[in-house]
Structure 1
Amino acid sequence: MRLLLVLLWTWTWTWTSSALVRIPLRRMRSLRLQLRANGLLRDFLEDHRPDAFHRRYAQCYPAGALSLQAGRYSERIYNFLDAQFYGIISLGTPEQNFSVVFDTGSTDLWVPSYYCVSQACASHQRFRAFDSTSFEHGGRIFGIQYGSGRLLGVTARDTLKIGGLTILNQDFGESVYQPGAAFVMAKFDGILGMAFPPLAEIPGNSAFDNMMSQKTVDQPVFSFYLRGGTRRGGPHGELLLGGTDEALYTGPISWVPVTLKEYWQIKMDRVAVQGAGSLCPRGCQTIVDTGTSLIAGPMADILSLHQQIGATPTIAGEFVVDCVRLSSLPGVTFVLGGVEYALRAEQYVRKERFADRELCFTGFQTVEMISSEGPLWILGDVFLTQFYSVFDRGQDRVGFATLKQPVED
């Protein structure tokens, strides 16, 4: 359930240790703003009404949203809050650069093939296997199901570089068909998945599994510092491979064990609106997902949450609040491992201007996603931009800490 938005940027550098690698991250430009520039939001602006609550709840649920069926991962590419993050990798010898989303909600690495036939590939960097002296044919076809259709490709193997870190014999996919308009509009080239092996559609080790097996990182840990808001210039965050950066957070890291090693799935104790534990009162499962812009949850819970904060659904499946009421909106708190992580209204609402109108969109969205542990929530970038997040493959746990310089939106 993602519309990934990207700005191409090629600055990467390493820290003083070759086994601890920093990848600066950039936010992507809002796809909604691109659509607005192309005049494609006219229907939304004409149809939006303050009394939209009379619409049936079924209309609030976006078709093709993220789902889990038969153990396979299906996602919709979409953006909501200018909060998707990307960095630069290279493949092949000599190096060919690609912008990728570092996605904890999937496992595979793929980039467009030179032979891709989709319109989306024409405006993106494409991998030229014939130019790489270290390339090996994988010889297998793979497919990844997205909301707009099935991405198809062929498997390959080559040298992967992230910053100054080199991973040999990395299995990846070359996409030859990318479905839907979202891939055309987005400016990212591919995706580098960082979830657990069972989610993989491409045979072989994932990128981080290879980093661990080839001992190119100090620890089997990676961490994210993601900056929210509307800042311009400079990096918008950082992915650190091999450990954590104590300069970016304060206090201890609070750990929550992974409950199912597919996604980075953990137990959430409850969700409270203005201190009232009204949602998920007996605990529920949630995914920590850097590749999802929003915070998402089961329809009944998300509709209840929006009613409590006074939000109105739109025909596009998004929710808006009166911008005048922003300072008086209640806080929303997520309790993980007994620790409270509170979001103020300014942190879960984004303002956007359309012509002479200002609209305030919430950062919450409905999603019906079921695992063996029950219905799932997703803690995406709306949540992750407010806390330092750590993903520990050695002990299968996720950690959160307070940012040393809190993100102000």
Structure 2
Amino acid sequence: MRLLVLLLLVLVLVLLCWTWTSSAVVRIPLRRMSSVRSRLRTRGLLGEFLRDHRPDAFNRRYAQCFPAGTPSLRLGRSSERIYNFMDAQFYGEIRLGTPEQNFTVVFDTGSADLWVPSVYCVSEACALHHRFKAFESTSFRHDGRMFGIHYGSGHLMGVMARDTLKVDNVTVLNQEFGESVYEPGAAFVLAQFDGVLGMGYPSLAEILGNPVFDSMMAQKSVDEDVFSFYLSRKQEGELMLGGADQALYTEPINWIPVTAKGYWQIKMDGVAVQGMSSFCPRGCQAIVDTGTSLIAGPTADILQLQQLIGATPTNIGEFLIDCVRLASLPHVTFALGGREYTLTAEQYVRKEMLGDRELCFSGFQTVDIVSPEGPLWILGDVFLTEYYSIFDRAQDRVGVLGPLLVHVGSVYR
């Protein structure tokens, strides 16, 4: 009898411990869906879209529709915006208001604003997505400020608001966010997400106010001021708020200090193409960005890298690779925090079907971003699908681990 009581007490303690640890972190499933670029290519509209949505042409066409002095429309400002929604593929769910209204968003470490379409939006894109109905929410608070955001190949304009936000079982009270009322052009029409939830530092925000994760930290909604991303090449991904999943990686955490608190910017020791050439041998700056699917870098370096991997340019600025040659292409290695992270051709090449034909595209692209520390590289999803990433706001550092374990059902191996 005493043994039975002891066993019951142990069971209760185990259950209590399990309950505590399971609430310590929050898991948000991330669905992988076809990107705007892929959908445009399938419809034969990609070339026209890229021509019409160049930042200079787009600004001239739509700048008069935005409030005077909108910061993101200043000449040259577009080059500072990293977020490339054309290639975004990982989306998760959030809920706004009371009662809750559901939205699909990109959880983006390359921006810091939260916005969703408003029911009052007049654009075609809004009609095809979930729209926030302020008049149905009893916890809604009107703000009155207007905002405009430019994302490189698309703009949006709206009004500020406050309401209760829920991300899985985490509740954030009085969260500032934008209600988009104008989304010109075709960029958001084909997007399979409603809005964006930025997870960068507050200084990156176009909208005044706390980014969502800052609100979570201030309201002590998570046990640790840490979040992490598992992005899978072929399956669903996962965002964890408040910690990291040790079942997903195989090495000790390689912590790299943040060098500038805007983007998640770190020092990169160098980039090397197997047996051929290296870039930024004295080190350079890189941004770890879940909102950019590709790996980007300065034009001169990326064009040379494309030649080294045998990629040839198309008339719309993409780079094609012969799918038959993948096994013979060189590896590309990124040195971070004293360790090397290598991508094979199978990992840095994007494969897409166009009808019954398979196309192979380089996973590298040119983006010229100047910072006080020099030109910036961007480590997007092509890198992050192979290496687990942890973002630590408490100590301002990024943890890079890998290679990722393979996810099979509910088992990682």
| Normalised TM-score (structure 2) | 0.84
Specify the alignment match of 2:64 in structure 1.
Answer: none
Are the aligned partners of 2:83 and 2:111 in contact in 1 as well (CA < 8 Å)?
no
Amino acid at match of 1:101: V
Specify the alignment match of 2:396 in structure 1.
Answer: 396
Q: How does 1:354-369 map to 2 (within 5 A)?
A: 354-369=354-369
Specify the alignment match of 2:55 in structure 1.
Answer: 64
Are the aligned partners of 1:148 and 1:180 in contact in 2 as well (CA < 8 Å)?
no
Amino acid at match of 2:301: D
In 2: Cα distance, 1:368 partner to 1:39 partner: 28
State whether structure 2 residue 178 is matched by structure 1 residue 173: yes
Amino acid at match of 2:382: V
Q: Percent identity?
A: 68
Shift of 1:405: 1.6
Shift of 1:39: 3.8
Mean alpha-carbon deviation: is it higher for 16-25 or for 194-203?
16-25
Are the aligned partners of 1:385 and 1:407 in contact in 2 as well (CA < 8 Å)?
no
Specify the alignment match of 1:79 in structure 2.
Answer: 86
In 2: Cα distance, 1:79 partner to 1:71 partner: 15
Specify the alignment match of 2:60 in structure 1.
Answer: none
Select 1:185's aligned residue among 177, 182, 190. Answer: 190
State whether structure 2 residue 293 is matched by structure 1 residue 302: no
State whether structure 2 residue 189 is matched by structure 1 residue 198: no
Specify the alignment match of 2:128 in structure 1.
Answer: 123
Are the aligned partners of 1:22 and 1:240 in contact in 2 as well (CA < 8 Å)?
yes
Where structure 2 has 5 or more consecutive residues not aligned to the other structure, the ranges are 1-18, 57-71, 409-413
Specify the alignment match of 2:249 in structure 1.
Answer: 249
Secondary structure of residue in 2 paired with 1:306: helix
Mean alpha-carbon deviation: is it higher for 274-283 or for 178-187?
274-283
Mean alpha-carbon deviation: is it higher for 26-35 or for 87-96?
26-35
Shift of 1:204: 1.6
In 2: Cα distance, 1:355 partner to 1:388 partner: 33
Where structure 1 has 5 or more consecutive residues not aligned to the other structure, the ranges are 1-13, 45-58
Specify the alignment match of 1:54 in structure 2.
Answer: none
Distance 1:149 1:39, change over 3 A: closer
In 1: Cα distance, 2:173 partner to 2:213 partner: 12
Q: How does 1:249-268 map to 2 (within 5 A)?
A: 249-268=249-268
Distance 1:339 1:406, change over 3 A: farther
Are the aligned partners of 1:287 and 1:379 in contact in 2 as well (CA < 8 Å)?
yes
Shift of 1:16: 5.5
Greater helix share, structure number: 2
Select 2:144's aligned residue among 101, 117, 139. Answer: 139
In 2: Cα distance, 1:72 partner to 1:203 partner: 21
Distance 1:154 1:140, change over 3 A: same
Shift of 1:248: 1.2
Amino acid at match of 1:300: A
Secondary structure of residue in 1 paired with 2:246: coil
Specify the alignment match of 1:349 in structure 2.
Answer: 349
Shift of 1:264: 0.2
Amino acid at match of 1:161: K
Secondary structure of residue in 2 paired with 1:182: coil
In 2: Cα distance, 1:105 partner to 1:162 partner: 19
Q: How does 1:92-103 map to 2 (within 5 A)?
A: 92-103=97-108
Specify the alignment match of 1:269 in structure 2.
Answer: 269
Are the aligned partners of 1:68 and 1:74 in contact in 2 as well (CA < 8 Å)?
no
- Larger Cα-atom Rg: 2
The count of aligned residue pairs is 373
Specify the alignment match of 1:48 in structure 2.
Answer: none
State whether structure 2 residue 196 is matched by structure 1 residue 225: no
Name which structure has the greater RCO, CA cutoff 8 Å, separation 6+: 1
